[in-house]
Structure 1
Amino acid sequence: MQTRSKSGIYKPKVYTIVVALLDHFQKPSSVRQALQLPHWKTIMEVEYSALVHNGTWRLVPKTERMHIVLNKWIFKTKLKADGSLDKFKARWVAKGFQQHAGVDFSDTFSPVVKASSIRIIFTLVIAYNWDIQQIDINNAFLNGILHEDVYMCQPEAFVSSTHPTHVCKLIKSLYGLKQAPRAWFVQLRSALVSWGFRPSISDNFLFHSRENGHLALVLVYVDDVLIISDSSTLIHSVI
């Protein structure tokens, strides 16, 4: 089936469908545009609700002595391996490049397991036929607890109607902050230790545990985690 365009040229119906799909998948270029698209607006509302439910910040009156970090909305369209739509994603992130050392951040690092550790562990996995499972923690950085005073403007399109001039004092970490990877790892390390894991002497981002005669290893690469064991039951228990 064909359709006639305004110019009088016939175009296949499939062309119209493809254009509509591209428009649907296209990332909005601004918050205003996103709010005009129902599916993107819904995703933004879900993200905002999740941040509020997580207790990411509390509103405080703005003062002249505060160093305010700006923020922005980032929109992504994730596709599956076959090219079909997986999901839309909207994330509220900090403009961390505006942070000042000694003011709203101190120590920073990214938890990255050593390449030599990975090579050795993978050699053992192959030699002894161990099980291995990779997990990706949802919104990992949002679990980090901040110990510095970090102030941010309220999210665009979600400014409080009762306190429009207040700012967000961050309680938990946010993507984009310089200390976000460190804050996340501190929480993860605390959890692993409470579960009986111990960090390796030669690699701070490699943890090991032995339970009922079975060995479990955890390798941390920023917010990706590899769990390796000679027992699949133990892996599922750790997860």
Structure 2
Amino acid sequence: MDLERQQQQQQQQQQQQQQQQQQQQQQQQQQQQQQQQQQQQQRRQQQPMAILPPLLRHLFLVFEGAPIIFEPGDYDEAMTCPDSPHWGKAVLKENEAFVRNGTFVDVPRPPNTNVVKGKWVFRVKLLPGDDPIYKARYCAKGFTQRYGHDFFETYSPTATPPVVRVFLDFVGRRGMILHSMDVTTAFLQGELHERIFMERPKGWHLPFDPNTVWELRRPVYGLKQAPREWHAKLSSTLRDLGFRPSAAATSLFLRTSPSPFYILVY
């Protein structure tokens, strides 16, 4: 009888061990599935689909083989992805804008001086009935600037939603002609007052030299003071043309003669 009991106990122990092993395996499988799902979500976040209207987005996902455009996360990815010819042209266009606007001068890397880091940002702009527009912009990493050295004031007034609504209502009630426009490379039109050094970007036409950096002459995108300097330049230009800022909203400029003319900056 003792032997039979021992055998039964051993069998029960073996069954319990097998059940525990099965539970552990199931837990491991669940953990692996969760890790795979997290990795897939991270990949989707790193390579988001270009911004599309909701209807188009569903159509693009439904039809097999539809052209889904991904925005690369850095320069190397842009130059190795299937759309690299388009991104290469966009990079060249941005570099030409830097040169045309006198944005910088090449200087030896100064010792014991903060050099602002930069990053390429790639975006796709889609308009109804038009081909995708590939845009590349070399931006400063503003968080690498130092307050009191690389920048001081940063505030820049912009039109708030209530101001925009009131302005549109005013234009509609008076039957005025409304026109919208965009300023190409707007921030590069401003004037920089601080002495700022910045890393040269990948894809520049000159060979890479770690001992050569840019000394900025214009506020590039990403600098903390760039919006403020652009607004100062725009305000000065509009004043020279006879406009004055509104007392109600500093983002609204008006001129009453020879005929009423209003400009809202947003």
Matching residue's letter, 1:51 = F
Give the number of the structure whose alpha-carbon radius of gyration is greater.
Answer: 2
Deviations 1:161-195 (A, max 9, x none): 38652110110011111001011011111110111
Instruction: Answer yes or no: is 1:124 the counterpart of 2:124.
Output: no
Partner residue of 1:110 out of 145, 150, 156: 156
Task: Kindly indicate whether structure 1 or structure 2 has the higher relative contact order, using CA contacts under 8 Å at least 6 residues apart.
Answer: 1
Name the residue aligned to 2:236: 190
Matching residue's letter, 1:54 = N
Q: 1:144, CA displacement in angstroms?
A: 1.0
Contact 2:125 2:135 in 1 (8 A): yes
TM score, norm. by length of structure 2: 0.69
- Closer, same or farther in 2 for the Cα pair 1:99/1:129, shift >3 Å? same
Secondary structure in 2 matching 1:43: helix
- Closer, same or farther in 2 for the Cα pair 1:29/1:108, shift >3 Å? closer
Secondary structure in 2 matching 1:47: helix
- Closer, same or farther in 2 for the Cα pair 1:29/1:120, shift >3 Å? closer
Name the residue aligned to 2:37: none
Instruction: Answer yes or no: is 1:160 the counterpart of 2:203.
Output: no
Instruction: Answer yes or no: is 1:44 the counterpart of 2:91.
Output: yes
The 2-side partners of 1:63 and 1:98 are apart by 16
The 2-side partners of 1:119 and 1:41 are apart by 40
Name the residue aligned to 1:137: 183
Deviations 1:204-233 (A, max 9, x none): 221110222x21111112xxxxxxxxxxxx
1:146-225 correspondence runs (5 A): 146-158=192-204, 160-161=206-207, 164-212=210-258, 214-221=259-266
Bigger strand share: 1
Q: 1:159, CA displacement in angstroms?
A: 6.7
- RMSD, aligned α-carbons: 2.1
Name the residue aligned to 1:63: 110
The 1-side partners of 2:162 and 2:73 are apart by 42
- In structure 2, the gaps of 5 or more residues are 1-62
The 2-side partners of 1:131 and 1:68 are apart by 47
Q: 1:138, CA displacement in angstroms?
A: 1.4
Deviations 1:51-73 (A, max 9, x none): 11211100111122211110011
Contact 2:73 2:121 in 1 (8 A): no
Contact 2:74 2:119 in 1 (8 A): no
The 2-side partners of 1:126 and 1:32 are apart by 48
Matching residue's letter, 2:124 = T
Deviations 1:106-125 (A, max 9, x none): 11123213555434433322
Deviations 1:81-115 (A, max 9, x none): 36x63311111000001111111111112321355
TM score, norm. by length of structure 1: 0.76
Name the residue aligned to 1:81: 128
The percent identity for this pair of structures is 35
Contact 2:125 2:133 in 1 (8 A): yes
The 2-side partners of 1:121 and 1:26 are apart by 37
Contact 1:114 1:203 in 2 (8 A): no
Name the residue aligned to 1:54: 101
Matching residue's letter, 2:109 = K
Secondary structure in 2 matching 1:75: strand
The 2-side partners of 1:34 and 1:190 are apart by 38
Bigger helix share: 2
- In structure 1, the gaps of 5 or more residues are 1-13, 222-239
